Structure 1
Amino acid sequence: MSPTTRRVVQAILYEIGAVSFVGPALSWGFDQPVGESLALALLMSAIALGWNYVFNGLFEAWEARQAVKGRSARRRLVHGIGFEGGLAILLVPLAAWWLQTTLLAALLAEMVLLAFFFVYAIVFTWAFDRVFGLPRSAGGAA
């Protein structure tokens, strides 16, 4: 699979799982109608989808320049921190606006989601690599 196809497939599968979790979680956690929480989840997903594609392209370019190939636990941790940190910078202002609250309140409200997605990003990427193989940037033939 080409690097571009790999990133698109990875991002789409990742976001299907994300919306499946975030939609109901927002509805329950913020006592909002399912339709409103699903709309916010889809908007966040669209932003995350774009970020996923951009971030993985940047990460794989960095990774390809590394002397040590493969994806160790440390490299997966760096990937998760980078991805989720960047996503938080993008999504917290959106949540503050959508929920009509302060940035601090939005950040606090998103902490549970950020913790979930930190773990989810690492586990998902590991599982994706197991099914599809490592990308060329990590020394794989994918």
Structure 2
Amino acid sequence: MRTKLDRLRHTIGFEALGLIILIFGINQLLNMEMSQIGILAIVFSIIATVWNYYYNILFDKAMLKKTGQIHKTTIVRIAHAIIFEFGLLFITLPIMAWWLKISLLDALILDLGMVIFYLVYAFVYNLAYDKVFPIPQSKLPPTQSS
């Protein structure tokens, strides 16, 4: 399993880079004021940071319980990213509608665009992070033959 310090580095790096890309991207694509989208993005970043931290711990514990290991294949990484984003969507949708003074449907469309961005971003970021900071191999006791 990853250490708390490693998880903190992962989460802060993920959110900081994602914020930069998101704020500048929405500003360029939708011509929204950077201050308006920036405040919302920062609030969402805080929410996502907390969600990310606990979600990854729960995901790893569930994987360890189900499979006995925490190595994530490409398919598992895809599932990991999709489940994460749908959980975050559930949390952020009403906040976005309220802050931007738009309907829930408009907020859903905008949020789905952000989800698509973050699905791709989370997949690429986590693959890169695993390469740069590999998961330490736990020392398992040798198995005994029957």
Instruction: Name the CA shift for 1:107/1:68 in 2 (closer, same or farther; >3 Å).
Output: same
Residue of structure 2 in register with 1:27 after alignment = 27
Counterpart Cα distance in 2 of 1:103 and 1:66: 37
Distance, in Å, in 1 between the alignment partners of 2:100 and 2:31 is 11
2:121 is the alignment partner of 1:123 = no
Structure 1 segment 71-110 matched on structure 2, within 5 A: 71-110=72-111
1 CA distance for matches of 2:25 and 2:67? 41
CA shift for structure 1 position 31: 3.1
Aligned equivalent of 1:11: 11
Q: How many residues align?
A: 137
Partner letter of residue 135 of structure 2? L
Map 1:44-63; keep pairs closer than 5 Å: 44-63=44-63
Provide the C-alpha distance between the structure 2 equivalents of 1:84 and 1:2, rounded to a whole number of angstroms.
21
Q: Deviations over 1:72-105 (max 9, x none)?
A: 1111111111111111111111111111112121
CA distance in 2, matches of 1:91, 1:74: 26
Return closer, same or farther for 1:29/1:92 CA change in 2, 3 Å cut-off: farther
Q: Is the 8 A contact 2:96 2:107 kept in 1?
A: yes
Uncovered stretches (5+) of structure 1, i.e. residues with no partner: none
Asked if structure 1 preserves the Cα contact closer than 8 Å seen for 2:82 and 2:119, the reply is yes
Letter in 1 for 2:88: L
- Structure-2-length-normalised TM-score: 0.84
CA–CA distance in structure 2, aligned partners of residues 77 and 33 of structure 1 = 32
Identity in percent: 30
Q: Alpha-carbon deviations, 1:25-80, whole Å to 9, x = none?
A: 33334433222221111111111111111101111111211336321111111111
Q: Give the letter aligned to residue 76 of structure 1.
A: R
Structure 1: which amino acid aligns with 2:63?
E
RMSD: 1.8
Amino acid at match of 1:44: F
